[in-house]
Amino acid sequence: MTSIRNVAIIAHVDHGKTTLVDKILHEAKLFRDNQETGELILDNNDLERERGITILSKNVSVTYKDVKINIIDTPGHADFGGEVERVLKMADGVILLVDAFEGPMPQTRFVLSKALQLGLKPIVVINKVDKPNCRPDETHDAVFDLMFNLDATEEQLEFTTVYGSSKQGWMGPEWENPTDNIQHLLDVMVDEVPEAPAPEGTPQLQITSLDFSNYVGRIAIGRLVRGKLTENMPLGIAKRDGSIKRVKIKELHVFEGLGKRRVEEVVAGDICAITGIEDFEIGDTITDFENPDPLPRIAIDEPTMNMLFTINNSPFFGKEGKFVTSRHLRDRLFKETEKNLALKVETGDTEDKFLVYGRGILHLAVLIETMRREGYELQVGQPQVIFKEIDGVKCEPIETLVIDVPENLSGKAIELATQRKGELLIMEPKGDMQHLEFEIPSRGLIGLRNNVLTATQGEAIMTHRFKEYAPFRGPISGRINGSIISVENGPCTAYALDKLQDRGTFFVEPGDDLYGGMVIGEHSRPNDLTVNVQKGKKLTNMRSAGADDSAKLAPPRRFSLEECMEYIQKDEYVEVTPESIRMRKIYLDENERKRMEKKD
């Protein structure tokens, strides 16, 4: 029987987790020498590749020196915390990957604290030591301090450190002496990570993630903690409400390389995928039906933000999408909750409205982006944070915000964060950058990234993660400027835009098709302005000097999906279709808007 090691790789966003996994896969000779693999093999959906972040945890396995190593790639983003906690349950050890220049970051702290609580011993990999002005030794000390602050045990603090550069494909015991491969890291993994225990007894497996196949339906993935599983074995599944339901395993698969291999039997300690089980959810335990012994359920962080999702009812409805009705939207959202644990969906006050609860703007934006790529049309309202009453006090979610910014621009960043009720806790130099840490309400983060990037000429690096619920900090002023709104339907003209340039910044360019009530720019004043940008130039056959000066237009300001979500006000929607993202007023007619304002 082969020995098994289950290892999770944890790190902050962009510290090189997925690149390191690529190198491990190559080192273990998983591919033919002439096989084209590309970069970032594990980030296999388009969204992950474009954004350069891991969203879904993945499982792969390699065999090294007759030891099977199951590697679990975890998301580094706090918005996907629901994923991280589950997958750590499958691991016996963790590799903590830290950037040699940036050192431990807030998300590193978040994932590491979860791993230490589960009693996992980390192997620290200090990556990117080839970067200029990196500080591997200082980073090592910072990791030790962080673990000490997180109440690590004596044994956890005696961690092994490996230095290297996953991009250049080497890992070694010292950063001054580069090696020419990453075998040192694989040796450390085999030596340091405890062998997966394989106790005898009745089977016990907690479902920690899901997969879906059009041929066999839902697939349960988890680590077999005890006993053996065989094909066609009759078992029980322990549900959330305490009931036990009879099930039968149809097929068993273990992870091998990037794929799965069908097996007849799985022994304790291995991670496997099971088909043939219906009606299960994450956290359920597969166990013996006669003598059930369920494992404790996984607690998932609660959502901190909600957004209204509704069908697209703009004049451009149905032009670009395949799925446009409320039934399509309802089915898709409820299907998402099956595998996206940190997401909650409630039906709204009418049939076509849904309140979707998530962990943050990025969490919700990834869902919306995935849906529009699948051909859905929908509209979303302004994100709202979720308030709670704790001991009779109104409380709101507070986040830890870290901004790294060039020294000469740090004043601007501090000013913007404190305007939004942020409290500056730490300010220290980090190389030629200033490192700022704040405690800020989640409400204050909405729209902050745009402002900080504008004020620092795009040089600031911002990260944040949920800390706790704390007493309400009072009102925060939102966007100061009003919107410029189109009054007519039809394409806009350069002539009209040219005449209106001094009124504000525009988000559209000549020839764009617009409709009345669409937000097409930002007014230079606090009030909304309704304009006619469809007006053409009156043509005559008279010539006059200077009459034919062509319009000189500033380029339009373009928004990403997240920027739109952060930008809109209470009375606006973002309209999302497979081809375009537009902002609009909820009430398209100007008279109706005025009536509604009076009601408020």
Residue 574's pLDDT is: 92
User: Quick one: pLDDT band at residue 17, thresholds 50, 70, 90?
Assistant: low
User: Quick one: pLDDT band at residue 402, thresholds 50, 70, 90?
Assistant: confident
Is the pLDDT assigned to residue 50 strictly greater than 50?
Answer: no
DSSP state of 40: -
Is the pLDDT assigned to residue 260 strictly greater than 60?
Answer: yes
Contact 125, 95 (CB under 8 A): yes
User: pLDDT (tens digit, 9 = 90+) per residue, 499-524?
Assistant: 888 888 999 988 889 998 999 999 98
- Structural domains in the chain, CATH included, are 3-192 (3.40.50.300), 204-287 (2.40.30.10), 388-471 (3.30.70.240), 483-537+554-570+583-599 (2.40.50.250)
User: pLDDT (tens digit, 9 = 90+) per residue, 81-133?
Assistant: 556 667 777 888 888 888 877 777 766 776 787 788 888 888 888 888 777 77
Identify which of 212-221, 222-231, 242-251, 514-523 has the greatest average pLDDT. Answer: 514-523
How many beta carbons lie within 10 A of that of residue 464, not counting itself? Answer: 22
How many beta carbons lie within 10 A of that of residue 494, not counting itself? Answer: 17
311 against 118, higher pLDDT: 311
Is the pLDDT assigned to residue 80 strictly greater than 80?
Answer: no
447 against 84, higher pLDDT: 447
DSSP state of 376: B
Residue 36's pLDDT is: 40
Residue 583's pLDDT is: 92
Residue 549's pLDDT is: 58
Is the pLDDT assigned to residue 227 strictly greater than 50?
Answer: yes
Is the pLDDT assigned to residue 360 strictly greater than 80?
Answer: no
The mean-pLDDT minimum among 241-250, 417-426, 548-557, 590-599 falls in: 548-557
How many beta carbons lie within 10 A of that of residue 578, not counting itself? Answer: 15
Q: Give the residue-averaged pLDDT of 166-171.
A: 77
Q: Which of 40, 593, 56 is nearest to 341 (CA)?
A: 56
Residue 68's pLDDT is: 83
Residue 54's pLDDT is: 43
Copy the structure tokens of residue 497: 């835009």
How many beta carbons lie within 10 A of that of residue 470, not counting itself? Answer: 14
Which amino acid does the sequence have at 581?
I
- Backbone φ and ψ for 116, nearest 5 degrees, come out as -65, -40
User: Quick one: pLDDT band at residue 575, thresholds 50, 70, 90?
Assistant: very high
Residue 285's pLDDT is: 83
Q: Which of 292, 277, 333, 339 is nearest to 309 (CA)?
A: 333
436: helix, strand or coil: strand
Contact 236, 277 (CB under 8 A): no
Q: Give the residue-averaged pLDDT of 424-448.
A: 83
Residue 543's pLDDT is: 64
User: Quick one: pLDDT band at residue 541, thresholds 50, 70, 90?
Assistant: confident
Is the pLDDT assigned to residue 542 strictly greater than 70?
Answer: no
208: helix, strand or coil: strand
User: Quick one: pLDDT band at residue 40, thresholds 50, 70, 90?
Assistant: very low
Mean pLDDT, all residues of the chain: 80
284: helix, strand or coil: coil
The mean-pLDDT minimum among 183-197, 286-300, 307-321, 540-554 falls in: 540-554
Is the pLDDT assigned to residue 417 strictly greater than 60?
Answer: yes
Residue 266's pLDDT is: 83
Q: Give the residue-averaged pLDDT of 172-194.
A: 80
- Backbone φ and ψ for 89, nearest 5 degrees, come out as -65, -20
How many beta carbons lie within 10 A of that of residue 528, not counting itself? Answer: 19
520 against 44, higher pLDDT: 520
Contact 594, 398 (CB under 8 A): no
Torsion of CA 273, 277, 279, 284, to 10 degrees: -50
Q: Give the residue-averaged pLDDT of 327-343.
A: 82
Residue 239's pLDDT is: 81
Work out the percent of the chain whose per-residue pLDDT is above 90. 6
Is the pLDDT assigned to residue 49 strictly greater than 60?
Answer: no
Q: How far apart are CA 312 and CA 334, in angstroms?
A: 18
Residue 13's pLDDT is: 60
